[in-house]
Amino acid sequence: MKCIVLAGLLVGVAAVAQELKREFRYFEDGHARHVLDVYAPANAKDLPVVFWIHGGGWQSGDKANVQEKPAWFMEQGFVFVSINHRLLPEVKMEELVGDVAKAFGWMQKHVGEHGGDPRRVLVGGHSSGAQLAALICTDDRYLKAEGVSFEVLMGCVPVDGDTYDIPAIIETAETRRRVHHEPQATFGHREKFGNDAAKHVGFSAVTHVAKGKGIPPFLIVHVADHPDNSAQARRLAAVLKGAEVPVTVFGGKETNHSKINALIGTEGDLTTKALGDFVEKVRAK
């Protein structure tokens, strides 16, 4: 484990004394990507925790790709945990999701050592990480396998995902290619999620939403002018509302898939404003 002390921060965020502790192994003798980083304000004690999952189409990405988010969340009084997981096609999707759950289980056992409160966790992720965040916050089997219940979840913030309803995005993408006489993807969503209709349903967060499960409040962030991601955001929101789960949908304007994530935590950013409002609301409960 590597520990770095940082003292001043980044665009639009006040200076906060903090520590970045890198390369904790959440699965002993496991893969090189079974690691996570912990960002904590100095002298942190019993602070709520952010559990963040990177994007990259389940095939790439890294826990270090968090831009201003750790700084901003620490300024709000959070400990920030950023994880890696194994990648497709080296492993299957179920193993990848299992990695995320294992990282969450490690965090539950150890975040108190870094000033975090394991009973108050906000889960978030961008792109493929948005799908993973939404899934582990709706399908309780993954966290239960690590001895964790939904009672510890404060909220879920999936950022610009397109796979909350996987059969819908497969049909949309394949129909678009077919009617335009374009070749189908060789490793698209159909293949990534197992090329099996039952698996496509099972990996979809919308499948698992139901009343009385303890699913936390959601803030669903998406690029407003992206038709697929907007449709998926509305679809997940409608299912959550139907199950009486509190949900807010924020559509970012004049932005794109990368930018909406990269600017979280910067001064004047409207997505950050929406996130701040959501955090204030869920912390008050």
1 — pLDDT class (breaks 50, 70, 90)? low
Q: pLDDT digit string (tens) for 182-222?
A: 999 999 999 999 999 999 999 999 999 999 999 999 999 99
Quick check: 127 and 160 in contact, CB under 8 A? yes
Model pLDDT for residues 136-168, shown as the tens digit of each residue: 999 999 999 999 999 999 999 999 999 999 999
pTM of the model: 0.94
pLDDT given for residue 261 in this prediction:
98
Residue 23: per-residue pLDDT? 87
Residues 6+ apart with CB under 8 A from 226: 160, 256, 257
Task: Report the CATH number at residue 264.
Answer: 3.40.50.1820
pLDDT tens-digit map of 232-276:
999 999 999 999 999 999 999 999 999 999 999 999 999 999 999
Average pLDDT, the chain: 94
Cα 263 to Cα 258: distance, rounded to the nearest angstrom:
9
Least confident of 11-25, 32-46, 53-67, 210-224: 11-25
**Residues paired with 123 in a beta bridge:** 51, 156
How many domains does the structure of the chain reveal?
A: 1
Q: Which domain holds residue 85?
A: 2-283
User: Quick one: which of 76, 100, 88 has its CA closest to 9?
Assistant: 76
Is the pLDDT at 70 greater than 80? The verdict is yes
